[in-house]
Amino acid sequence: MNKKFINLIIFFILCEMILANHVSARMKCWTNSEGIKECGDKIPPEYTQQGYQELSKGGIVLEEKERIKTKEELEKAKKEAAIIAREEEKERKKKAHNKMLLETFASIEEIEAARDQKIEAVESTIKITQKRIIKLQYLLDDELNRNSLDKQIDGEEKKFDNAESLKEQISDNKKFIKNKIDEQRKIKKTYIEYISRFKKLKGL
C-alpha cells in the first residue's frame, strides 16, 4: 500500500471526525407550552412539529426549522398563492397588451382605421350572406309553388324534402348573420378599449 493511498484514507477519516464533531456540537432550542425557550441535544416529542433552532456551542444559529403548518394553514396558503399567481398573470397580460398597442399603432387614427377595416370585412360577409338568403328564398318559393301544383293534380299530400332543405339553409344563414353582427359589436367594444388604453399610455 503506497504512501499516497494511506494519506488519502487518513484524510477521509479526519473529515468524518470533524463532521461528526460538528453535528454533535449542535444544540437545539425550542419554545415550550408556557412560552419559555429551552435548549438541549434532543427536542421533546411534543415540540418537534412546533419549529426550532439549531445553534452552535457559541450560540450562533446554524439552522432554523419552521413550524409544521396545519391542514387549514396549508389550504389557506395554497389559496393565497393561487390569488397571487392570477394577479401576476393578469399583470403580465396587461403589460403584453400595452406593448402590442404601442408597437402596432402610432396614433388613434391608425387604431380607428384598423377597426373600420375589420368591421367592413365582416359587413361584406353579411351582405354576401343576405344575397344568398334572397336566392334561397326565391328557390324555396318556387319549390313550394311547384309542389302545390303537383298536390292539386295528384290530390295527395307529399313531403317535400327539397323545400325542407332550403328552409334549413335559410335558417342557418340567418343564424350566421346574427353571429356576424355580434362579432361587429365585439370589434367595436374591443377597439373602444384599445383607444382608451392607448390614450392613457400616451398621456393624451
88 versus 5: which is more confidently predicted? 88
Mean pLDDT of the chain, nearest integer: 82
Question: What's the whole-model pTM score?
Answer: 0.57
27 versus 58: which is more confidently predicted? 27
Pick from 57, 68, 70, 69: which is nearest to 29 by CA?
57
DSSP H helices, 25-160, are 71-104, 108-154
Q: In terms of domains, do 120 and 44 share one?
A: no
Domain of 196 in residue numbering reads as 106-202
Give the pLDDT of residue 149. 54
Q: Is 174 inside any structural domain?
A: yes
32-86 per-position pLDDT tens digit: 878 888 888 888 887 777 887 887 777 777 777 777 777 888 888 899 999 999 9
Q: In terms of domains, do 193 and 127 share one?
A: yes
How far, rounded to the nearest angstrom, does the alpha carbon of residue 90 sit from its chain's CA centroid? 9
CA distance 204 to 192: 15
Give the pLDDT of residue 87. 95
